[in-house]
A and B are shown apart, each in its own frame.
Chain A
Amino acid sequence: MTEAILFSLFSFSAVVFAFNVIFRKNPVHCALHLVGVLLSLSGMFVLLNAQFIAAIQILIYAGAIMVLFLFVVMLLNVRGEVPLLTPGAAKGFGFFFALIAFVEVLWVVVTHGGAEGTPQPPAPLPPGFGSPAEIGRILYTTWLFPFEVTSILLLIAVIGAVVLAKRKFA
C-alpha cells in the first residue's frame, strides 16, 4: 500500500516535470525541471530496491552533470539562437518518432502480453540485491569485459576534452 502511494507520487511528479521540461520557454527553468525528473526517478529506484543506483543518480546526474548543463545554459544566451528546424519540420519529426515508439510498444504488448492469464507474484529478491557490494561483485566478475571497455571509452573522452581545451584559438 505504502509502495503504491509512493510509486504514484514519484511517477506523477516525474511526468509533470518532464512535461515542463518540454513546454517551458526559459531554458534555465527547463534544466531545473529536468533535475526534478531525475530526482523522481531516483525515488523510483529506491522503490525497486536499487539504493545504490538511486544515490548515484542524485550524485552524478542531478548533482554533477545537470550543474554543468545549467552552467552552459546560463552563460550562452540561448534565446538569440536560430532554431535548427522550422516549426513545421520539427512537428513532423515529432510525430514520426512518436509513431515509431508507439509501434514498438504495441509490438511488445502483442507478442509478449496477455497470454499467461493472471500475473505471477514477483520472485523473492536474492540477499544483498542492489547493495554496493553485490553490484561491485557482478561488475568485476560477470560484466568485467563491458566494464573495462567502458573505462577505456571514458579515458578517451577525458583525453579528448584535455586536447580540445588546450587548443589555441588564435
Chain B
Amino acid sequence: MDAAFLIESAVKVLIVLGFVLLGVPLIVWMERKVIGHMQDRIGPQRVGPFGLLQTIADGIKLFFKEDIIPAQADRVVFILAPALSVITAFVALTVVPFGDTITVAGRTVYLHITDVNVAILWVLGTTSMGVYGIVLGGWASNSKYPLLGGLRSSAQMISYELAQGISLVSVILMTGTLSLASIVRQQEHMWFIVPQFFAFVIYILCGIAETNRAPFDLPEAETELVAGFHTEFSSMKFALYFLAEYANMMVVSAIAISVFFGGWRGPFLPPVVWFLIKLSLFLFFYVWLRATFPRLRYDQLMAFGWKVLLPASLLNLTVTAVVVALQNNP
C-alpha cells in the first residue's frame, strides 16, 4: 500500500463526498422547482438566480435553529440515529463506478473509490443497515407517532429489499459477476435494460419504496403520523435525515444506471458527463412520480410488495436462469 495509492483514494473520497453534499441542495431545488411548475406555480425564485440559492439558505437556517432533544428521549440513540442514516447512504456510494479510467501523471486512475468483488452485496448490505437510522430514530424519540412511523418503515424496507435483491440477481446470472465495474464493462454492445426490462421495473419500484419516497412515503404520511419517524428531530438532526433521503435516492439511481443503463457509457461526451446526465434523469423521474401519484394505503403497499413484486421477481429470475443455462449448454 504505497503513498500514491493513499493520496489517490483520499482525493476520490473527497470528490464523491463533495459531490453528494453539493448535489443534494441542487436536487432539492430541482424538486421544488419542477413540482412547482407541474402544479402551475413558479417555485422558489427569490434567493439567487432562478432561486438557486434557496436550499442553501434553508440549510443555513437549519444550522442556526435550536437543537431540541425531548426530555424522555434516549439521548445517545437519538443523536446516533440520524448519523447512522447518513453514514450508510454515503458508504454505499464507494463502489459505484462513475467513469472509465483516466491517466494522471503517468498513473492509471480508476474512477470509482473501490471495486470489491462483492459490490452489489455491499450496496444491499448498507441499504439494509439504513433501516436502523429510521427505526432507532422512531424508537429513541419515545413518542407514539415517531414509533409508529419507524415500525412501518422498517417493515416496508425489509419487505421491498427482498424483491430488489432478487431483481438484481437475474442480472448477476447473466454477467457472472458481482462487481459493478465489470457489469458496466460488459454492457459495451447492449444495455441490460433490454434483456432485463422486468428486472429493472421491479428494481426501481423497490428502490422508491426503499428510499421512502412518494408514492411509498408511508413512514412520514403527514395526514396520519404527523411527520413519522422524524417528528421530534429539529435543526441539523432533521437536516441529516433530509440529506440521507436524497443521498439514498442517488445510491438507488446510481446502481440502476450501472446495472441496467450502461453506467458511464455513451457516445461523444466524456463518461463522467454521461453518468451525470443519466443520474439527473433518474432524479427527475423521482420528482415526476411524486408530483403524479397519490400515496398508497399501508395494506395495499404490503400486499403489492409481497404478492406482486416478489413473485414477479422470482418468475423473472427463473426465466433468466433457464435462458442462461440453455445458452451455456446448447
CB within 8 Å for A55 and B118 given contacts A2-B1, A71-B151, A132-B178:
yes
Cβ contact within 8 Å between B118 and A51: yes
In contact, A63 and B118 (Cβ under 8 angstroms): no
Find residues 1-55 in chain B having any chain A CB closer than 8 Å to their own CB.
1
Which size bracket describes the interface of A in this complex?
A: 20 to 34
**A70 interface residue (CB < 8 Å to B):** yes
Which residues of chain A come closer than 8 Å to B124, judged between CB atoms? 59, 63
How many chain B residues touch A (CB < 8 A): the figure is: 25
| A63 in contact with B131 (CB, 8 Å) | yes
Mask of B166-187 contacts with A, CB within 8 angstroms, 1/0: 0000000000101000000000
Contact indicator B77/A55 (Cβ below 8 Å) = no
Q: Is B116 an interface residue (CB 8 A)?
A: yes
B135 near A67 with CB under 8 A, answer: yes
Least Cβ distance of A156 to chain B in Å?
19
B-side interface mostly: helix
The answer for the CA separation of A74 and B128 in the assembled complex, in Å, is: 18
At the interface, yes or no: B125 with Cβ under 8 Å from chain A? yes
Say yes or no: A63-B125 contact (C-beta < 8 A), given A51-B116, A52-B118: yes
B126 adjacent to A67 (CB under 8 Å): no
Indicate if the CB atoms of B117 and A67 lie closer than 8 Å: no
The yes or no answer to B132 lying at the interface (CB within 8 A) is yes
In the complex, what distance in Å separates the CA atom of A2 from the CA atom of B77?
A: 32
Q: Are B158 and A28 touching (Cβ within 8 A)?
A: no
Does A144 make an interface contact (CB < 8 A)? no
**A58 part of interface (Cβ distance < 8 Å):** yes
Report whether A55 and B121 are in contact in the complex, using a CB–CB cutoff of 8 Å: yes
Assess whether A62 is interfacial by the CB under 8 Å rule.
yes
Q: Is the CB of B129 within 8 A of A58?
A: yes
Which of B1, B116, B118, B154 is within 8 Å of A67, CB to CB?
B154
One of A26, A29, A59, A68 near B125 (C-beta < 8 A): A59
Residues of B within 8 A of A52 (CB): 117-118, 121
List of B residues within 8 angstroms of A2 by Cβ: 1
For A16, list chain B residues within 8 Å (CB): none
Q: Does B200 contact A (CB under 8 A)?
A: no
Chain B residues whose C-beta falls within 8 Å of the C-beta of A30 in the assembled complex: none
Q: Select the residue from A26, A51, A63, A67 with max chain B CB neighbours within 10 A.
A: A63
Assembled-state Cα–Cα distance A92/B211 (Å): 49
Known: A70-B135, A132-B178. A32 touches B129 (CB 8 A): no
Q: Which 7 pairs from chain A and chain B are nearest by CB?
A: A63-B128, A58-B125, A55-B121, A59-B125, A55-B118, A51-B118, A67-B131
What would 30 A/B residue contacts be, using CB atoms closer than 8 Å?
A2-B1, A26-B74, A28-B139, A29-B77, A32-B136, A35-B132, A52-B118, A52-B121, A55-B125, A56-B121, A58-B128, A58-B129, A59-B125, A59-B128, A62-B129, A63-B124, A63-B125, A63-B129, A67-B128, A67-B131, A67-B158, A68-B158, A70-B135, A70-B136, A74-B135, A74-B151, A75-B151, A131-B117, A132-B118, A133-B176
